Amino acid sequence: MQILAFLIAAVLVAADQWIKFWAYQVLLPVGTMPLIPNVFSLTYVENYGAAFSILQNKQLFLIIMTSIFLVVVAYLMLKKTKGNRLFLASLTLILAGGLGNLIDRVFRGFVIDYIQFLPFDFPIFNFADCCVVVGTILFMLYIVLDEIRMSREHRKLGHSENTPSKTEE
Q: Does 129 participate in catalysis according to the annotation?
A: yes
Confidence band of 159 (pLDDT split at 50, 70, 90):
low
- Write the pLDDT tens digit of every residue in 127-136: 999 999 999 9
pLDDT over threshold 70, residue 88? yes
Which pLDDT value is given to residue 54?
78
From the list 16, 104, 113, 121, the catalytic residue is 113
Q: What is the pLDDT of residue 160?
A: 56
- Annotated catalytic residue, options 16, 121, 129, 146: 129
Q: What are phi and psi of 129, to 5 degrees?
A: -60, -40
pLDDT of residue 70: 97
Q: Is 16 a catalytic residue?
A: no
Q: What is the mean pLDDT of residues 48-64?
A: 84
Are the C-beta atoms of residues 124 and 33 closer than 8 Å to each other?
Answer: no
